[in-house]
Amino acid sequence: MTAHEGSSPGRTLREAFSAIRVVTYAPDAPLVVQTVAACAAEELAPGAAVVCLRTGERAPDGPRLHIEAGFPRAGGDDLRMELRMEAEGLWVLSAPRANSLYALFCLVRDEWLDGTVAGFAHVRAVRPSFPWLRNLSDFLVGSLRTSRGFSGENYVRHAARLGFTHCTVNGLAEGPPFESGPPGDVYSWFYDYSPDLDQFVDSALLRGYYPAEYLRANLAALKANAALAERYGLVPGLHINSPRSMPEAFWERYPYLRGARVDHPRESFRPRYTLALAHPTVREHYRELLRNILREVPAIGFIHLWTNDSGAGFEFVSSLYAGRNGGPYLIREWKSDADIARAAAGNVLAYLGLLRDECAAVNPEFRLICDVASFGAERRYIVSSLGSGIDAGEFGSFAGGVSRREKSILGFVGAWMHGREDPGCPCVIGVPSPVLLHERLSRALREGMPGLLASPAPASLAPYDVNSEVIRSFQFAPSRPLGEILARAAIAWAGEGGARDLVAIWLLADEAVRSVPPGVPLGTFAYPWFRLSVRPFVPDIGAIPEREREYYERYMLATFNNPARVDLNNDMLWNFLTVEEALEKMRAFDIAVFPPLEKAVAGAGDSLRRSASAEAGRVFADVRDRLRAWRSYAMTLRNMLAWTASVHGYINAVPGPAKDRFRTLCREMVQSELGNARDLLELWRESDVTFMPVAARGETLHTYGTNFGGLLEEKIRLMELHAGDEPHIDPGFMWRMQRMSH
């Protein structure tokens, strides 16, 4: 066979690859090379043999595709990925960084095959827009990891296709976290995500305080997720809340190692304490934990540390929920605020340096990211000392005021979020907001952001997620017009006949999503925590007997005396909004959110009825039901604002026209939420679309279970029964007493 036979200029790449008879790779190649070689033999060159070609070994005759990754490139351009055609019928798929190889393969498979060999010009190269693109969501390793229908492998493969480069892998096994508390204490629920190092391995100091089978199960889950990430080339790493509190029994033996109280007193009945990091025994404990983890998973390439929340915190920092506090080793006498801040910052930096040094000894490319949003007075001392393998990052904003000099900063870009850039669990999966997302990605690129966190919808739950396609296109073709991105996806899913309608629906949905007013309480991860979808919106929640509220309060993030149980605008020590603010935000929903949303839902229904193919019908049914679910979510937020305005307004108003207006608004709110709950119940019963996370093994704080329909029925029953009650909030709810059972 002559050179380039099967690759003549008139042929397409698809035809050229069909002539390939063998796919080769080197024996010392990263694991992803084998994955891509197998995929190429199946999807690019059907029937080709896969051969591990050892050094000096003669390649098989005939057209060949060689896969390579994970090598230094001459000139230092390790971001350049390429498909090139060499002499004697040899094609090479090449990525210096292994974490880009699978994405390159998918670009060839999905976008390049219909180009001609002549137009190919021997090499086609791309570079990622963001060298660091990492998942940040409650799927795979967080509180949604056991959602019904979720596939971890599908999730990682999908992320790799989109151009993600790093993957968080430290999730607990399927059981609950070890942390517990006395009856009524809800703080243990915060330990279900971002587990610290001691949830996977032990140390000499800790041995025996966690059940061996618990650690074994968690370590097995960690190793399985890391192996999955490596299979698709992603760099595995840890997202930890650290240093986290220790088991209560530990303090009985080592009370002098007690560090800071880190729990939130509003949510807990038992204080939680972390270790005193200044003690040399404690530092050796963390070194041993890291060494034990790295012995099991040496590929760990990063740690992203979040602290001062969810049972984690550093001594004497100003942002501790219980106020500055700690053990006897760091601050031993009265100091000024500045002295305390400097000492606390030094303690933080010592811990960060310990983590970096231990991990870098195993993996020289290791990076440690400290989420600096956790710190207040100490922040300036911490940020000024970062660098040398310790980066700054925070997911509240792109940069958060942190200087970019010598630091890689991670910002969060919401792939599904409304109006904010905070992370959190998706209340509705796969809601289209492609224009808003494209704007945020463009802004990040303009500002020179090298790393991003994003939360794409899992493909196993949202197969037609246009937001994911925006991320993928922007990662490899940032100059591609958004209209072209949307048209490509729409044609691929709905065909030429349905594409225009599908794009129009996406744009209307985007208009609705971006119009959600900022500052709506409980709109993200707290939405399920406060059971907003299933709790009754009535004028006097306290008028419902507690035994009848138990169906939703059992998983509500509120202790028995938290006024959040009877006041949608309160969480123990503060009200979220004034009456005027609630009214303003409520009107924003009515004026700007629901008009385009109603058009999008109606348009999806019309397009479904006139679909030309079964596949197009599935696409329009999918987007219609997701938008119906998001409409219910948005309406519940709107009605929560109406509840705040009407109930608080009624209570505060003197008798007269104003009080009457608030009473009327309250009646309207009840009827609106009743209709909303009935619509959601109908959707739940009739739709085949996975429009929300559903816990496969029962309801939790973070998500609902398969009993969701029954909870909605109970909400409707109670609202119908109490719709006419007079607006009222018990002003002394916080001071109520309850005998704790044992």
CATH architecture assignment, domain 132-480+487-492? Alpha-Beta Barrel (3.20)
Query: How far apart are alpha carbons 287 and 16 in whole angstroms?
Result: 53
Q: b/e map of 18-45 (b: 16 or more CB within 10 Å)?
A: bbbbbbbbbeebbbbbebbbebbbeebb
Quick one: pLDDT band at residue 74, thresholds 50, 70, 90?
A: low
* Predicted pLDDT of residue 336: 93
Beta strands in 332-465 (DSSP E): 367-371, 390-393, 410-413, 451-454
Query: How far apart are alpha carbons 492 and 469 in whole angstroms?
Result: 11
Quick one: pLDDT band at residue 175, thresholds 50, 70, 90?
A: confident
Amino acid at 537: F
| Residue 336 three-state SS | coil
Quick one: pLDDT band at residue 374, thresholds 50, 70, 90?
A: confident
Query: How far apart are alpha carbons 115 and 404 in whole angstroms?
Result: 40
* Predicted pLDDT of residue 678: 98
Average pLDDT over residues 686-700: 93
Could you tell me which residue, 340 or 454, shows the higher pLDDT? Answer: 340
Which of 278-282, 392-396, 672-676 has the weakest average pLDDT? 392-396
Could you tell me which residue, 529 or 4, shows the higher pLDDT? Answer: 529
Which of 82-86, 199-203, 283-287 has the weakest average pLDDT? 82-86
| Residue 405 three-state SS | coil
Task: Give the range with max mean pLDDT: 69-78, 317-326, 385-394.
Answer: 317-326
Amino acid at 569: N
* Predicted pLDDT of residue 418: 38
pLDDT digits (tens, 9 = 90+) for 583-638: 999 999 999 999 999 999 999 999 999 998 999 999 999 999 999 999 999 999 99
Query: Which pTM was predicted?
Result: 0.93
pLDDT at 145 over 80: yes
pLDDT digits (tens, 9 = 90+) for 639-689: 999 999 999 999 999 999 999 999 999 999 999 999 999 999 999 999 999
* Predicted pLDDT of residue 403: 42
Quick one: pLDDT band at residue 742, thresholds 50, 70, 90?
A: low
pLDDT at 370 over 80: yes
In this structure, are residues 264 and 187 in contact, taking their beta carbons and an 8 Å threshold?
Answer: yes
| Residue 53 three-state SS | coil
In this structure, are residues 537 and 640 in contact, taking their beta carbons and an 8 Å threshold?
Answer: yes
pLDDT digits (tens, 9 = 90+) for 420-464: 444 445 789 999 999 999 998 998 888 888 788 888 899 999 999
Quick one: pLDDT band at residue 399, thresholds 50, 70, 90?
A: very low
Crossing angle between the packed helical segments 614-643 and 579-588, to the nearest 10 degrees: 160
Q: How many residues does the chain have?
A: 742
- β-bridge partners, 694: 704
Whether omega before 364 lies within 30 degrees of 0, making that bond cis, reads: no
Quick one: pLDDT band at residue 525, thresholds 50, 70, 90?
A: confident
Q: Quote the mean pLDDT of the chain.
A: 91
Query: For 13-126, CATH number?
Result: 3.30.379
* Predicted pLDDT of residue 413: 53
Show me where the domains of the chain are located.
Answer: 13-126, 132-480+487-492, 521-590+623-734
Query: How far apart are alpha carbons 97 and 192 in whole angstroms?
Result: 33
DSSP per residue over 579-642, as a string? HHHHHHHHHHIIIIIHHHHHHHHHHHHHHHHT-SSHHHHHHHHHHHHHHHHHHHHHHHHHHHHH
Average pLDDT over residues 519-531: 91
pLDDT at 371 over 90: no
Average pLDDT over residues 148-156: 95
In this structure, are residues 601 and 631 in contact, taking their beta carbons and an 8 Å threshold?
Answer: yes
Quick one: pLDDT band at residue 417, thresholds 50, 70, 90?
A: very low
In this structure, are residues 579 and 645 in contact, taking their beta carbons and an 8 Å threshold?
Answer: yes
In this structure, are residues 728 and 543 in contact, taking their beta carbons and an 8 Å threshold?
Answer: yes
Average pLDDT over residues 3-32: 83
Secondary structure letter of residue 57 according to DSSP: P
Average pLDDT over residues 134-152: 89
* Predicted pLDDT of residue 411: 57
